[in-house]
Amino acid sequence: MERVKKGDDVVVRSGKDAGKRGTVQRVLPRDNRVVVANANMVKRHVRPNPQAGVAGGIQEREAPMDLSKVNPYCRTCDRGVRVGIKTLEDRRKVRICRTCGESLDS
Ligand SMILES: [Zn+2]
């Protein structure tokens, strides 16, 4: 089971966006990377392309970041936490917060 899924709220652990909270937009399992909204923004110089309706200039967009740099956000703890996996009685697996034990999957 993945530690982080698309749509999760995560907190950035390190780097220039440390402490920032955002929603996972994309998971790249093969690269062990995630794209988090408004985190790890990079500037891209864009060439104008009138046919595609793209104005030239500098655009900011999210770059993938290492999965290990984010922690799922726990509402109960109000911070990024380490995740454990728990198997329920009906054998479903849920992710739990290792700090408070609350389920992170509703
Ligand atoms: Zn918690």
> Ligand 1 centre from 72 Cα, in Å?
10
Q: How close is the Cα of 105 to the center of ligand 1, in Å? A: 12
CA distance linking residue 106 with residue 99, whole number of Å = 17
Give domain status of residue 55, yes or no. no
CA of 95 to the centre of ligand 1 (A): 11
26 CA to centre of ligand 1 in angstroms: 23
Helix (H/G/I), strand (E/B), else coil: 52 = helix
Query: Within 9-87, where are the H helices?
Result: none
CA distance 35 to 90: 32
Q: Is residue 68 part of a domain?
A: yes
Per-residue pLDDT in tens (0 to 9) along the chain, 106 residues: 788 999 999 999 998 899 999 999 999 999 999 999 999 999 999 999 899 888 889 999 999 999 999 999 999 999 999 999 999 999 999 999 999 999 998 7
Is residue 31 situated within a structural domain? yes
User: For the domain that residue 80 is a member of, what is the CATH number?
Assistant: 2.30.30.30
Whether 53 is covered by a domain: the verdict is no
- 54 alpha carbon – ligand 1 mean position (Å): 44
Short-list 89, 88, 69, 91, CA closest to 80: 69
Q: Two tokens at 65?
A: 């970041």
